[in-house]
Each structure stands twice: as structure tokens, then as C-alpha cells.
Amino acid sequence: MAHIGSTDFYIGIPSLPREEFELYSTRLFDQWDQYANNHLYLEDYSLALDVEEGSIKASGRIVAALGVLYIGIGQYGSFISGLNTIHGQVKSVSKYLGEKAGAPFVESSIKPKVSNRGESLSRLKNIFTKVQSGDLSVEQAMIESETLFGDELDSCPEFKSGLQDSLEKTPVMLQQMPLALVDVEGNALLPEKRVIQRLPRQPKPKRPEPPADQLRVEVWRDTKKSKKNVRVTNLR
């Protein structure tokens, strides 16, 4: 299974009552799940959302099998075109989760801190970029891809074959060597080095101690059509 997207967010609000916190977590998952169902055009995938209190700290993950990714990518013509399209869909679904996470607290002065990552899809796009710029050969790119996806790449030969074929067809952009600038006397003109003064880092404010009954709510679907699972755990 490939980890294709993730969203982490932190909302520095006081702890919610237990029932309210559980309702917030499950309702957030349901909204995210519905949006993914309408905007992520993959045959199957897994969604998981973990939410902890003591303020709200959470992580959402999207996972899909390489075979499913290959079918999804194939809907959009070339491998790289399909990769870009699916990556865009994942980014949209991840962004939606971050937006909905903070929606119930929009009237407060606290702004959620949200981080979205494309995970393996972003890293695979970066491999194509390196091949295009000439920083990686196709052979090196396949080695990096095997490191990225592990044994699953060999277990999905159609994805591996399509990936290699697309890498081989990726045009390498010729890079122009920079010209040295010289003055009339033949001396090289080099830009003066700028000295950047770094300000000392401010110490991070300490987070308040979590409540004695700090909770974690885990909500997930193993597949797109499987039942929703909910688990509530006391962390302390």
C-alpha cells in the first residue's frame, strides 16, 4: 500500500467535553470521507483520522494500493499526466480536511496550524523532475522508486512497467552553462556576498498540560466501501 497523502493539524483550544470531542472527530471524518468519495477518482483507498485532545492535534492519512493507483492514473492518458491529476485530487481532499477541522472554531481568534503533504505521489513527481533535469538517469530513478514503494513495486508489474516506460520517454532539458561576467580589463565580476544576520530563535511557548482524561479518537475505513471503524482510547 502506498501512502499518497496526509494532513496534520493543531488547534490550540481548551479541551472539549468527552462527548463533544468524540462527535467532533467522527463528524469531521464523515465530512472528509464524503468529500473524498466525490473528488478522489480511485477505485479504492483507505482513510484514517487520529485526533487527540489537550488542545486538538490530529493526523489524516490516505492510502491506496499500487494496482489501484495504476488504474486511476490510466484514466488520464500518459503516466505523468495521470500522476499529476491524481496528485491534484489528493491535495484537494487533504486541503478540505484541514479547512473542515477548523470550521467549528472559526469565530474564535485561534487559527489552526495545518500541514498537507503529498507523500509518495509528491516524491514520485520529484523523481520525474530529476530525470527531466538530467540529475537522475532512468536506472537511478527506478532504484529510487523501488526504495519509495518497497516490495509492492515488484508485486505490481504493470505499475512498474508503466513507470519505467514513462521515465524513458521523459525528455531531458538541456541546461545552459552560466557565462562568466568580466569587466573591460578581463577581471571576473562576481557578486558581493551578502552577510545575513540571523535573529536568535524565540523559545516556543509551552503547551498547557493535557487533562487527566486525555482522549484519542481513531476513525478509519480499511477500504472505500467497508464499514467505518471508531476507537476511543484514554491516553492518561
How do the residues of the chain divide into helix, strand and coil, expressed in percent and rounded to 5?
45, 20, 35
Structural contact between residues 120 and 2, judged by C-beta atoms closer than 8 angstroms:
yes
Query: How many secondary structure helices (H) and strands (E) does the chain include?
Result: 7, 6
Class of domain 2-117+213-234 as given by CATH? alpha beta
The pLDDT profile of the chain, 236 residues, written as one tens digit per residue, is 899 999 999 999 888 899 999 999 999 999 999 999 999 999 999 999 999 998 899 999 999 999 999 999 999 989 999 999 999 999 999 999 999 999 999 888 888 999 999 999 999 999 999 999 999 999 999 999 999 999 999 999 999 999 999 999 999 886 544 544 444 455 554 455 555 566 566 555 454 454 445 899 999 999 999 999 999 998 87
Please tell me the distance from the alpha carbon of residue 18 to that of residue 224, in angstroms, as a whole number: 28
Please tell me the distance from the alpha carbon of residue 61 to that of residue 117, in angstroms, as a whole number: 10
Report if pTM > 0.85.
no
What pLDDT is stored for residue 192 in this prediction?
A: 54
* Of residues 38, 95, 73, the one with CA closest to residue 224: 38
What pLDDT is stored for residue 177 in this prediction?
A: 46
What pLDDT is stored for residue 214 in this prediction?
A: 85
What pLDDT is stored for residue 15 in this prediction?
A: 83
